[in-house]
Amino acid sequence: MIVKRKPKIGILGIMQKLYDKTYPNIVETQSNYVKEVINELKDVADFKFTKPARDRKDLEEIIEDYNNDKELDGIMIMMLTYSPGQRIVPALKKNNLPIMLANIQPLPSVTQEWNMEHLTYNQGIHGAQDNMNAIVRLGINCPVVTGNWKEEEFKNFVKDWALAAQAAKALKRTRIAVVGRMPGMGDITFDSSALLKKLGVEVVDESMGKIYSYLEKVTKEEIEKVKAENAKNFEIDPNIKEDQYNFAAKFQVAIEKFLKDGEYDGFSIYFDSVKDDGRFEQLPMMAASNLMAKGYGYGAEGDALAATAVIVGHILGEVGHFTEMYAMDFERDSVFMSHMGEGNWKVARKDKPIKLIDRFLGIGDLNNPPTVVFNVQPGEGTIVSLAPICEGNFRLVISKGEVIDSEDYPNVEMPYFHFKPDNGVRKSMTEWLKNGGTHHQCFNIGNTTRRWELFAEMVGIECVSV
């Protein structure tokens, strides 16, 4: 389960001892500059800064310390003066954290009042060039942002990069539980060993029998607690039968305990696995929605890649929401988005109630599963597919656009929304298909494109915007 927190970033401030004799206070002055930058970015991330790195030994010690810090998500490099680029090479060869170069300086403008002291304190650009040349020659991915450190553009880039670093690190310890897969569904089929090698995500095949062992132990108090939470969040349909509602709550408790005990961050349960077991009364529609809202990843029909994408979406965006493209609407230049009944209700419209309804569902041939229904909040949005491609590789396919303020659809008993791609539905969907974008996706409120692109760079997979 993803618990939202600010990323934590180590600051690698680089300078050298060449200027100590001329400017005895230079270390203190430039250290204070780093602290000012950290203070300016305090809403973006938490930071760790020990001391400036003034020689090769310092660089190796600081980077080793940062790599041993289990809480750190990445390293932001700042040039405090010029420093020779070759000094950083041995340290970076042992580094396992994402790095980024902030090409900034203490003062934003050169004025007539400047002297050699000002030039010395603000000369980071040519040190950045030397050090980045060394990093490029090492073949290390290192995003660069150039700008005034007090401007929003700089802060936004650091935030996007820090969240991407946090997501990349989180995946290295991510576990996905899969219970059955829909036969013949091609775009959920992939080499799970390749996913483990590339992203660090472990996919584990589990059984309904294990979940049933938890179901048997659920207490009445635990069922009532779920129902009390639902009462706070949803408008409850009075037509829901009490025994079916109780089972839905019981199923949710069982799945959550199963996930916690197995240290799983996401899951996918194929509906026929539930039906064929013979001991379950309904499909876990309510459980999928509520557990996504708690921070778990989810993908339908055995789709571990979609569950992985939703986990990343929880980190990069406000929350991740599981969805798929149901139909195109050429009049609105949009795609109608929905799925069988699972959705993260934290992306719902704020001006309308979220409903928990009694819902007939023929799929699975079981009792009516109480289902969460809502329309998504209008505004900017991002849809992402984690697609398997040839030779064990993966590709992110991204479409940025707008959630249209549409009317209600009383006969659509599932979460839904109209998504209008910025590139238009014709071009966007054509390019989506040509790039192998899958039919299950993660949705984020807002424009999270750059965060997904930075994440893709960090983990070494291709990224295409359509």
- The confidence score (pLDDT) of residue 377 equals 97
* The predicted structure's pLDDT at residue 152: 97
Ramachandran bin of 308, using left for φ above 0, alpha for ψ from -120 to 50, beta for the remaining angles? alpha
CA–CA gap between residue 246 and residue 430 (Å, rounded): 45
Strand 379-388 with 235-236, pairing: unpaired
Helix (H) / strand (E) containing 321 = strand 321-329
CATH of 175-465, one of 3.20.14, 2.30.29, 1.10.10, 1.10.3470: 3.20.14
Q: Structure pTM?
A: 0.95
Helix (H) or strand (E) holding 322: strand 321-329
203 vs 297: CA distance, rounded Å: 12
**Residue from 175, 208, 202 nearest 366 by CA:** 208
pLDDT at 21: 87
Which regions of the chain carry the CATH code 3.40.50.10940? 8-171
Report the phi/psi class of residue 225: left, alpha or beta, with left for phi > 0 and alpha for psi in -120 to 50. Answer: alpha
Start-end of H helices in 69-203 = 89-93, 116-121, 124-138, 152-171, 192-199
Residue among 111, 91, 184, 105 nearest 150 (CA): 105
CA nearest 442: which of 372, 351, 347? 347
**Alpha-carbon span 387 to 391, nearest angstrom:** 12
Domain 8-171 in this protein, CATH class: alpha beta
Q: DSSP 3-state assignment of 158?
A: helix
Give CA–CA dist 179/271, Å, rounded. Answer: 9
Q: Which pLDDT score is estimated for 139? A: 95
CB 170 within 8 A of CB 460: no
Give the β-pairing of 175-179 and 144-146: unpaired
Averaged pLDDT, groups of 10, the chain, 466 residues long: 93 93 92 97 97 96 97 97 94 97 96 93 93 96 96 97 97 97 94 95 97 97 98 97 97 98 97 95 97 98 98 98 97 96 97 96 91 97 97 96 94 96 98 97 98 97 97
Q: How many CB atoms lie within 10 A of CB 212?
A: 16
Predicted confidence at residue 19, as pLDDT, reads 86
Taking a C-beta distance cutoff of 8 angstroms, is the pair 324, 440 a contact? yes
Backbone φ, ψ for residue 21 (5° rounding):
-70, -40
Residues of the chain with CATH 3.20.14: 175-465
Q: Strands 379-388, 394-403: parallel, antiparallel or unpaired by DSSP?
A: antiparallel
User: What pLDDT score does 424 carry?
Assistant: 98
Distance CA 141, CA 195 (A): 20
Q: What share of the chain is helix, strand, coil (3-state, %, to 5)?
A: 40, 20, 35
Element spanning 386, H or E: strand 379-388
State phi, psi for 457 to the nearest 5 degrees.
Answer: -60, -45
Q: Output the pLDDT for position 179.
A: 97
What's the chain's Rg over C-alpha atoms?
A: 25
Report the half-sphere exposure of 157 (CA within 13 A, side-chain side): 17
**Which pLDDT belongs to residue 354?**
97
Strand 334-338 versus strand 321-329 pairing type: antiparallel
